[in-house]
Amino acid sequence: MPRDLYATVAQVLPVLLLALVFESRHLERLRSRPRRLRRDDPANGVRFWTKGRVRVYLLSVAVVVLGDLGLCVLMLAGGVPDSLPLRVVAVAGVLLVLVTLLFRITVDVLDATRD
């Protein structure tokens, strides 16, 4: 059963990573829009997600996901023994990407349907 978990995670993570990084021209929109803080631009500023913070967060998520993927492949190849902490790490990596995608989808839908 644990091998199925790692095989599934190893298959799902690359797809989620592609969705996170390359879906719906997200990076192009970030490049084209100014992302100043609300205190500097009260009308159009963002509360928290400036370009620098988005950059750090997305790169951090990508590193975590790729590390998680590497651990799953190592476990499947017999390089790392199965353990409860390794399972937690594998599932946490998937949850991190899913929560990030859910947040981005929510923001995109709210932005697209705003009056």
Residue range 78-93, pLDDT digits in tens: 999 999 999 999 999 9
Q: What is the full DSSP assignment across 60-112?
A: HHHHHHHHHHHHHHHHHTTSS---HHHHHHHHHHHHHHHHHHHHHHHHHHHHH
Residue range 18-56, pLDDT digits in tens: 887 776 567 777 777 777 777 777 766 777 777 788 889
Please give the pLDDT value at position 90. Answer: 93
- The pLDDT of 89-100, averaged and rounded, is 93
